[in-house]
A and B are shown apart, each in its own frame.
Chain A
Amino acid sequence: MERLKNIADLIKVKEQYHMQQKRWKRQVLVCGGAGCISSHCEAVQKALRASVKDHFLEEEVNVLVTGCMGTCAAGPVLLVEPDGIFYTEMTPEKVEDIVLRHLAGEEVCEKYTFYDHELHAHIPKLENISFFENQVRIALRNCGRMDYASMEAYIARDGYRAAANALNYLKSADVVEIMKRSGLRGRGGAGFPTGLKWEAGMKAVSAAGRKFIVCNADEGDPGAFMDRGILEGDPHSIIEGMLLGGFAIGAAKGYVYVRAEYPIAVARLGEAIRQARAAGILGTNIFGSNITFDLEIRIGAGAFVCGEETSLLASIEGQRGEPRQKPPFPHEKGLFSCPTIINNVETLANVAPIVLNGPEWYRSFGTRESTGTKVFALAGDIVNAGIIEVPMGTSLGDIIYKIGGGIVGGKAFKAIQSGGPTGGCLTKAYLNTPVDYESLAQLGAIMGSGGLVVMDEDTCMVDTARYFVDFIRDESCGQCLPCRNGTKRMQEILERITEGKGQEGDLELLEELAETIKQTAMCGLGQTAPNPVLSTLKYFRQEYENHIIDKHCDAGVCADLQTSPCCNACPANVFVPGYITLLSAGRFEDAYQVIRQENPFPSVCGRICTHPCETHCRRGQVDEAVAICSLKRFIGDYSLRDEYQVPLVTPQAPTGKRVSVIGAGPSGLSCAYYLANLGHQVDVYETEPVAGGVLYWGIPEYRLPKAVLAKEIMAIEKSGVTIHLNTRVGQDISFDAVKEQSDAVYVAVGTQLARLLDVPGEDLIGVESGLAFLKRVGLKRDLSVPGRLVVIGGGSTAIDVARTAVRLGARSVTVVYRRTENEMPAGAKEVQEAREEGIEILTLTSPTEFIGENNHVAGIKLIRRQQTDYGKDGRRRTAHIPGSGFVIPCDGIVTAINQDVDHQVYTIAQMEINKFTGQTSQEGVFAGGDINPWNSNVAIQAIADGKRSAINIDRYLGGSGQLNKGGCFTIPEAPDNEVDEPHMRFKTRILPVEERYDNFKEVDSGFHKLDAIGEALRCLHCDKR
């Protein structure tokens, strides 16, 4: 290009460029960002060009390569303009199809366009994709929108206008003033106002007559690639920013410090610098002014600490990358002892638009204290991993869900790491936090340079802290003691905890150590090094304690604390790989015994368990999780086929100790079973006329046949447990009397008080709670159902009520739920089966009033809801849509929202339950099951609680706490059946809807024996290590 001497020259280049562009009918922009390069966009590019040629479209289709478009996870991506169609996950084959059908055939290939996982739909147009819709791109204005290698393209998008204008018509002080008024703050993380920094640089007097401006492009945070995106996608924006900065502070020389790991950035920036020099934009007499400015790239060797400004300067000077004492600050004594201003890449990318459009324009984005936009790199367990730019103050939840597309695999969000390895973790309780400097700092996190690492529920926070501390330990420069030795010791302690060798006092020591490192380290790296430890300890202390006391990693990450992910996920710690192997070897009864060692209800759980084991099954990463729950059911059913042949455990000799259990639900019976096997005399008191508790009356027959439950309870009784039915403690016998007659008491009364909705009309006749409904039907006390029923709630209870009502003859049943279907606590299978049975499900709807006639329910007033911000539990909250109310006439309403413990009788409110032992504050009294405040109210948790309490009760009674679980089983070698081809689950047999909707026959009749064995062979045997 010829030398550009003034603004008129720039305008000429712009016009020429636009003229040239007009001849193309279409432009295909292929993303050439680092993410797409690693997913082989070059092959796509080649195929595209070849195909365009093959179809004789060379004259009308222009193929060009851009910088990063942002959707790195969906790469390689391309954009067809002017249609605005955005294609993702391109391959050479798909791209040929697009050329044929779209470029030549004028037909949008929808199946290749962006897929929205929330909406479960393809969104062809870029402008409609929520990822782009919610962004404002200033620093990224050109990234992914133009040919990164073309300076003409940059100029055509008003590039270098700001610089030409400033150099010709403004004074240094004017530029400084513009930056000050814009409110732009350092995007490297600390957030120091850029204008003030430049002012200090401008006023600084250099004894040597030299000043420098330095661009910090030593982006080293794991999961951060914003600066890289800008350098690779729009290198001229950095040159222009530095030119303006150099002009403002009076520097004639600038350095760009880039890490060696960014070779593409170095090459593209280097080429841009050559272009700029050739055009006279760098050098002497720039744009006809008397300004001289030039740039040099310095490549760092990849030491993280060199991102710290004083270390960076040392590195440019050729010294070992170690920090220096501040003050003096770099603007006083910086590079080669001269005044130096250091800005981050993103900061510099914002400069030209601010100077061009004015500070007020910039201030119109963002918040008062944090103006403008911020670029973030989304990484981790997030659907749309990539680079985004949003106005400051956008909420964390919106970034994760609206732009980020939520969590991969529909898992639950657990935490987000902001500000790199030395930043902090924020939890689901903080999704409403506006992302700006102040708000994040208030929560103990930092904005940092913009790396956001999203972690899902399968993340172990202790392991995460260990990982980040390990990173920092590795990157510590070694100059000052607290960082050098302190990070090493923190890492060792954390490693110990994740290996199950944590000790009491470790957390306190960690805290003391972390606080000292934070206070005494020399530079920012060391001072923030303990942040991962401090912030995870603050928000996830419980998880640390579980590792240290329980030796359990809830997320199933820490390998030394588990035999396999499925076992680890099971609250009762059932040896899943063991019984699956026995099953595949045809040893069904042995398999039953292996399950029964840890859980006395195999057949029951095989039907109704929430099976967290399957969620963590590694096979799920290949194709589909092993159907562990159904396999368990098969084993149970097979073993119990003859009730006189139930395999049993022989109890130990009587100990003479007596234990009373209150409540014959799963928790009470489990506890009783294990205690009886130890030789203790156990009496169970049950209010109802049948044992089983909620398993009996709370779960309808079509899901859990009463006969199955009865067999497993009978097996428990055979161990010597005495169950006293129709005996309500507090009424038929006093709690004190129970305590009097026993050496220990286990309270497992469950949660049976229904919560109220708090809407008018709840006292009308025809309104009942879900549990009350199921109980009266389950105990066959009253089988009447209203003709038109509305059920409120989204859990299993609500769905069970609805399906029971259908079976009992209700004409119409509607389930009303206030959130979306994705968020329903009931299983997707249950919901689908309910629909098949004719049940209507209204989501994002809630009741406002129960309408009565003559004191009886006659209808329900409902209102539509919409998603708003985020609740403390991380779920999207919903709110009424004003004016969307409507009425459904009905004869009965069942509220199935939540249950509470009945505190009246047992004064459990006054009992503090120890999380790790189940012991209460009352001597000899233990408690567990649903009343345990730490539990999720599911059967398997109740069973696990009962078992653990049996151990602790035995210890309390002077025993060893070693349960008598029966004999040992040698698990055979798993057959080596590695199959290369994926294979989805074998299917169980489901009753067709017409055979089930009007009766209580079991809907799922389980596996055929052959299928069960086949399914068992799908196990990957993670326990074999």
Chain B
Amino acid sequence: MVQITINGKQIAAREGATIMEAAKQAGIRIPSLCQYKDIHKYGSCRICVVEVEDMDHQQASCITAVREGMVIRTHSPKIRSARKILYELLLSNHPRDCLNCHRSQNCELQSLGYELGVTESRLAGEQTKSRLDISPAITRDTSKCVLCRRCVTVCKQVQQVGAIGAQNRGFDTVVGPAMGLPLASTDCTMCGQCTVVCPTGALQETESLTSVWKALADSDKRVIVQVAPAVRAALGEEFDMPCGTPVTGKTATALHELGFDDVFDTLFAADLTSIKAGTKLLNRLNVALTGGEAVLPMITCCSSGWIKHIERQFPDQRDHLSICKSPHTMLGARMKSFYAEKAGKDAKDMFVVSVMPCIAKKDEIQRPEMQVDGHPDVDAVLTTRELARMMKSAGIDLVNLPEGDFDAPLGLSTGAADIFGVTDGIMEAVLRTVYELVTGRKLSFENLQIAPAVGSDQIKTASVTMENTLPAYQYLEGVTVNVAVASGMEGASILMKEVAAGTSPYHFIEVMGCPGGCINGGGQPRTREEGYLEKRSQALYSY
């Protein structure tokens, strides 16, 4: 511990802590913009500058470590006036179309102005030109970018993709792919994590609301909506409900009120996915254990961002994928075939909407293999954030809605699939399915030891040994199945390097593109609440 003084208060701070962290601990809030949780400490916006005695210049408190005896002032007149000028500088290169910006009232730049008490902007001049880059999943607007570079860090450091970076220099600096290429032409996985961390309106999902509203207004169309589990664990946040409040019933009610003809739960299809994947795994294990050539480990492919990643980064390892459709497209495909027939509708008059925690799914539904006879399995993907906006614009007060139900027959599910939305969710569901198939018994949790892997907090591993197998699965008796789960592209890449090197000890790998899984998807509400991941996953497990 080191002894420091902040605004006259004596504080014992952890060695190596930043001034901002030490101040926070002492109940002093230092305004900031570019800094983001533990992920991004960069010092580019300088809003968090503080005065430190005996130092020539003001210091960015987000990156300056405390030192014994430091005397710090965080809100002195000099600092407040510096922050004001800095904010004016930010505003001088911002479109200021706040009233019609989708981030209005949910914008960190906007709230910062209020927090700093800035009421004038004396600086004007040339502004960064607006260059819109609209990919199937992500829309970028350079003019709204404040160059905090959170997105760059999340893309490069957290996800290890590195599709975007700072281009040009000085005032001409923009964040984007190299050589001004469109995002869609790069190694971008469309995971959308960048849209979650963006403090302004520079990065967002490519909107799909227009087409959904249009379909709802078209009396010839049967509009079907399905909702992924993770959506229900986070949607409440958009309506100021406490983080971790499950809103499944209210969501069902709201979707009915919005005018969707059928409101289904993607969980049904998730069960299908578990069964299909479990069966495929058993087949491969069978082949392998009986002396044949089988591609192991088998890797899940529910995460559309992950599919893009493996295609771009590990194209030679694609055979490891389980080749199942992701649950929502699986469901969409059923709608357009089996359900359309049942409803007496032509596939072209069926309009399937998926509400997803994910942004990459917007890209996925445009893939050619997700179309049948020119009809996409799913017509539109809405993110959790978009659904909330839709509800708000329809005057739906989610908080006070009664609990409702999903429609039958596709509204029922086993429960194993509920947990698709968290990491190790699919793996658990698949293992349960396999264990049940092989032994005829339910898997008791004592048999499943999930442990974080050494080297990355994005990887967990588990083993389960098959005992007392049913006669058909005798060949699995006593076999220990090793599984691994990665959430986030960094962890996935580590596992994939082992796979590529032929040293992977696993039979089955689950990969979720986003760190923390679908509950932390790129389409989820933006929150800076501490421990939000745990709270959301509790909401998911509470069913």
Contact = CB atoms under 8 A, between A and B. Distances in A.
A1001 to B, nearest CB: 63
B166 interface: yes
Interface in A508-529: 509, 512-513, 516, 518-522, 527
A478 B46 contact: no
A512 B44 contact: no
Contact of B85 (A473, A475, A512): A512
A354 interface: no
Given A478-B170, A481-B90, A520 B65 contact: no
A477 interface: yes
A519 B82 contact: yes
B316 interface: no
Q: What class of interface size applies to chain A in its complex with B?
A: 20 to 34
B170 A475 contact: yes
B169 interface: yes
Contact of A520 (B86, B122, B123): B86
B286 interface: no
A321 to B, nearest CB: 8
B170 A477 contact: yes
B133 to A, nearest CB: 19
Given A478-B172, A481-B147, A485-B89, A520 B49 contact: yes
Interface string B503-533: 0000000000000000000000000000000
Given A325-B64, A327-B65, A519-B82, A481 B46 contact: yes
B171 interface: yes
Contact of A486 (B60, B78, B89): B89
A492 B125 contact: yes
Interface string B138-151: 00000000110000
B36 to A, nearest CB: 16
A476 B170 contact: yes
A519 B57 contact: yes
Contacts of A474: 170
B165 interface: yes
Interface in A286-328: 303, 305, 320, 322, 325, 327
Contacts of A333: none
A467 to B, nearest CB: 16
Contacts of B57: 518-521, 527
A856 interface: no
A478 B86 contact: no
A331 interface: no
A197 interface: no
Given A325-B43, A481-B147, A485-B92, A519 B169 contact: no
Contacts of A509: 122-123
A475 B78 CA distance: 28
B44 A489 contact: no
A485 B49 contact: no
A488 B92 CA distance: 10
Nearest to A477: B169
With most chain B CB atoms within 10 A of its CB, the pick from A482, A487, A521, A527 is A482
A480 interface: yes
Interface residues of B, number: 35
Interface of chain B: mostly helix, strand, loop or mixed: loop
Given A489-B125, A519-B58, A478 B89 contact: no
A1003 to B, nearest CB: 58
Contacts, number: 103
A363 interface: no
Interface of chain A: mostly helix, strand, loop or mixed: helix
B465 interface: no
Given A481-B147, A485-B90, A488-B125, A513 B170 contact: no
Given A303-B169, A519-B58, A481 B45 contact: yes
Contacts of A483: 170
A512 B122 CA distance: 11
With most chain B CB atoms within 10 A of its CB, the pick from A325, A473, A518, A520 is A520
A484 B46 contact: no
B456 interface: no
Contacts of B93: 485, 488
A285 interface: no
A994 to B, nearest CB: 69
A521 B125 contact: no
Interface in B37-79: 43-47, 49, 57-58, 60, 63-65, 78
A479 interface: yes
B169 A488 contact: no
With most chain A CB atoms within 10 A of its CB, the pick from B49, B64, B126, B170 is B170
B69 to A, nearest CB: 15
Contacts of B46: 480-482, 520-522
B285 to A, nearest CB: 44
B168 interface: yes
A737 B146 CA distance: 68
Nearest to B41: A325
B45 A478 contact: no
B171 A513 contact: no
Nearest to B46: A520
Interface string A103-130: 0000000000000000000000000000
Nearest to A518: B57
A473 B170 contact: yes
B111 interface: no
A486 B87 CA distance: 11
Contacts of A519: 49, 57-58, 78, 82
A479 B44 contact: yes
B173 interface: yes
B166 A320 contact: yes
A523 to B, nearest CB: 10
Interface string A500-514: 000000000100110
A480 B43 contact: yes
A481 to B, nearest CB: 5
A522 B42 CA distance: 10
A325 B90 contact: no
Contacts of B49: 519-520
A483 B45 CA distance: 10
Contacts of B63: 325
A512 B43 CA distance: 21
B82 A520 contact: yes
B147 A488 contact: no
With most chain B CB atoms within 10 A of its CB, the pick from A303, A486, A521, A527 is A486
A93 B82 CA distance: 63
Interface in B99-123: 122-123
B125 A478 contact: no
B60 A522 contact: yes
With most chain A CB atoms within 10 A of its CB, the pick from B85, B146, B165 is B85
Interface in A449-504: 473-489, 492
Contacts of B43: 325, 480, 522
Contacts of A482: 46, 86, 89
Contacts of A478: 147, 166, 168-173
A516 B166 contact: no
A920 to B, nearest CB: 34
A520 B86 CA distance: 9
Nearest to B64: A325
A521 B44 CA distance: 9
A484 B173 contact: yes
Given A325-B43, A327-B65, A482-B86, A488 B126 contact: yes
Given A303-B169, A488-B93, A489-B123, 11 more contacts: A305-B169, A478-B166, A479-B166, A481-B86, A484-B170, A485-B171, A488-B126, A489-B92, A516-B85, A519-B78, A520-B58
26 contacts: A305-B169, A325-B60, A325-B63, A473-B170, A478-B171, A480-B43, A480-B46, A481-B86, A481-B90, A481-B147, A485-B92, A489-B89, A492-B125, A512-B85, A513-B89, A513-B123, A516-B86, A519-B49, A519-B82, A520-B60, A520-B86, A521-B46, A521-B57, A522-B44, A522-B60, A527-B57
Q: What are the 8 A-B residue pairs with the smallest beta carbon separation, nearest first?
A: A478-B173, A476-B170, A516-B85, A488-B171, A492-B125, A485-B89, A520-B46, A519-B58
